[in-house]
């Protein structure tokens, strides 16, 4: 294995038990030599897509707490932030139990606003949150899930949440019908962010469909890498998927993105073959990435109504 191979740390973690989870998080971070200096400003980017269809669609509260505790033990200045499809980050976090899990830790939960234009590789631009761009490090905290449009959503796709508000839905409409442009945009977003370290929750995943409304699959895995593309490549291997099934992976390979080839990775802990994904189901037929204008309008109305239902203190 080349000395330049990107380390992807994989370890078995059978449950969200506090002791087991704490040990697993420390193990994978040590294996990739993640050691932020005291005072580092870290934005934890969880998956807070929506609370409307149950907590499995969002990051596990125990995982968010474990990540916050590890960072604070290293003297980091920690913020949790996302830009949910509906509602504020604080409102979704309240409903899925993340706010309660972080009680007493003095970690603010924010919605990623302040759009900053990002020029895209194929022309046009998109509004990327300045709040995300101004962090020293982003700790990307995705949950492995099936996805009705993307087949799988994991490390790279979770960073799309750094695009502010309705701009994500508008991007679906603007770029979704044009070959590879939506996937290219996601990779552009990932490349424009500060250094990203990913801590992926594969303990209880979502399969059959997603990113909401799917079923629980117990993979018992936690993964970490300094390269989100590399971690996703390892996960695709575990799930026995090929680039033909994953448009985002095909685009990463077409761009020669580092980490998009399995031979570019090293595994300092466990090998991909150590994990049994037998029975993990991906969507049988994908729905279009593009949002019809009517769907876009309905989503905008739902977003407004959801925010109105939240208390003023939630809308940060």
> What is the CATH number for 47?
3.40.50.11440
282 in any annotated domain:
yes
* Rounded CA separation 313/315 (Å): 6
Please report, for residues 79, 174, 286, 301, 302, the alpha-carbon distance to residue 296 in angstroms, rounded to integers and kept in the order given.
Answer: 30, 11, 19, 9, 10
Location of structure tokens 């680039």: 243
* Rounded CA separation 103/92 (Å): 15
Quick check: 314 pLDDT over 70? no
* Rounded CA separation 85/95 (Å): 14
Tell me the mean pLDDT in the region 27-40: 98
Using DSSP bridges, classify how beta strands 265-266 and 151-153 pair: parallel, antiparallel or unpaired. Answer: unpaired
pLDDT for residue 290: 65
In terms of residues, how long is the chain? 316
Comparing 65 with 306, the larger pLDDT belongs to: 65
* Rounded CA separation 50/34 (Å): 30
Q: Are residues 51 and 93 in contact, defined by beta-carbon separation less than 8 angstroms?
A: no
Q: Which two tokens stand for residue 161?
A: 């949440």
- Which residues does residue 217 pair with via DSSP β-bridges, in sequence order? 205
Q: Are residues 249 and 236 in contact, defined by beta-carbon separation less than 8 angstroms?
A: yes
150 in any annotated domain:
yes
Lowest mean pLDDT among 43-57, 212-226, 229-243, 296-310: 296-310
Quick check: 242 pLDDT over 90? yes
253 in any annotated domain:
no
* Rounded CA separation 171/250 (Å): 20
Q: Containing domain of residue 278, as a range?
A: 9-229+266-307
236 in any annotated domain:
no
Tell me the mean pLDDT in the region 138-159: 97
Quick check: 264 pLDDT over 80? yes
278 in any annotated domain:
yes
244 in any annotated domain:
no
Q: Which of 158, 126, 115, 116 is nearest to 139 (CA)?
A: 158
- 77-90 pLDDT tens trace: 999 999 997 789 99
pLDDT for residue 289: 80
Comparing 117 with 167, the larger pLDDT belongs to: 117
Structural domains in the chain (count): 1
- CB-count exposure of residue 179 (10 Å: 0-12, 13-18, 19+): exposed
241 in any annotated domain:
no
Supply the pTM of this predicted model. Answer: 0.91
pLDDT for residue 310: 62
Number of helical H runs and strand E runs in the chain: 11, 12
Q: DSSP alpha helices (H): ranges in the chain?
A: 18-31, 61-73, 89-96, 98-101, 130-133, 155-158, 167-175, 181-192, 228-238, 247-254, 293-309
DSSP code at position 264: G
- 171-180 pLDDT tens trace: 877 876 667 8
Quick check: 72 pLDDT over 90? yes
DSSP code at position 105: S
Quick check: 138 pLDDT over 70? yes
Phi, psi dihedrals of residue 13, rounded to the nearest 5°: -145, 100
DSSP code at position 163: B
- Which residues does residue 218 pair with via DSSP β-bridges, in sequence order? 204
183 in any annotated domain:
yes
Quick check: 206 pLDDT over 50? yes
* Rounded CA separation 155/15 (Å): 20
């Amino acid at each position: 294995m080349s000395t330049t191979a990107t380390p992807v740390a994989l370890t078995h973690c059978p449950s969200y038990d506090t002791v087991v989870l704490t040990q697993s998080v420390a193990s994978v971070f040590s294996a990739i030599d993640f050691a932020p200096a005291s005072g580092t400003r870290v934005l934890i980017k969880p998956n807070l897509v929506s609370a409307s269809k149950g907590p499995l669609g969002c990051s596990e509260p125990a995982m968010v707490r474990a990540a916050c505790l590890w960072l604070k033990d290293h003297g980091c200045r920690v913020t949790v932030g996302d830009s949910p499809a509906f509602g504020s980050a604080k409102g979704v976090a309240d409903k899925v139990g993340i706010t309660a899990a972080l009680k007493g830790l003095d970690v603010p939960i924010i919605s990623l606003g302040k759009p900053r234009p990002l020029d895209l590789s194929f022309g046009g631009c998109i509004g990327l949150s300045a709040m995300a761009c101004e962090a020293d490090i982003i700790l990307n905290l995705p949950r492995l899930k099936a996805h009705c449009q993307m087949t799988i959503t994991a490390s790279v796709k979770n960073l799309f949440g750094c695009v502010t508000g309705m701009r994500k839905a508008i991007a679906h409409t603007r770029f979704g019908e044009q070959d590879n442009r939506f996937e290219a945009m996601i990779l552009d977003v990932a490349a424009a962010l500060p250094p990203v370290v990913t801590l992926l929750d594969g303990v209880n995943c979502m399969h059959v469909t997603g990113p909401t409304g799917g079923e629980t699959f117990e993979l018992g895995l936690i993964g970490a890498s300094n390269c989100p593309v590399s971690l996703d490549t390892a996960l695709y291997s575990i799930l026995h998927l090929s680039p033909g099934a994953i448009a985002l992976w095909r685009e990463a390979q077409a761009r020669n993105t580092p980490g998009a080839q399995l031979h570019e990775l090293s595994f300092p802990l466990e090998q991909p073959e150590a994990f049994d994904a037998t029975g993990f189901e991906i969507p049988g037929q994908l729905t279009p990435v593009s949002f019809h204008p009517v769907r876009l309008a309905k989503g905008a109305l739902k977003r407004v109504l959801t925010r109105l239902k939240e208390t003023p203190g939630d809308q940060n």
